Amino acid sequence: MQEFENRVAIVTGSSEGIGFAIAKYLIERGATTFINGRNQEKLDKATRILKANSNMPVESFCGDVTVYENCLLFAGKVCQQYGKTDILVNNVGGGTEIRHLENITPADWDFTLNFNLGGAFNMIKAVTPIMREKKYGRIVNISSVAGRNKGRLSGPQYASAKAGLLGLTRHLAWDLAAEGITVNAVAPGFVRTDRAISKWNERSKEEKERMLSGVPMNRFGEPEEIAHAVAFLASEKASYITGVSLDVNGGSFMS
Active site residue 136: no
- For the chain, give the number of residues: 255
What count of other Cβ atoms lies within 10 Å of the Cβ of residue 66?
21
Q: Which of 44, 11, 53, 4 is nearest to 140 (CA)?
A: 11
Q: Phi/psi class of residue 32: alpha, beta or left (left: φ > 0; alpha: ψ in -120 to 50)?
A: beta
Distance (Å, whole) CA 241 – CA 169 = 12
Is the C-alpha dihedral spanning 142, 14, 227, 172 positive or negative?
Answer: positive
Q: Which of 125, 120, 55 is nearest to 90 (CA)?
A: 120
Q: Which residues contact 31 (CB under 8 A, 6 or more apart)?
A: 4, 5, 7, 8, 9, 56, 86, 87
Distance (Å, whole) CA 149 – CA 130 = 34
Distance (Å, whole) CA 255 – CA 252 = 10
Distance (Å, whole) CA 58 – CA 50 = 7
Exactly one of 25, 68, 158, 240 is catalytic; which is it? Answer: 158
**Which residues are known to be catalytic?**
158
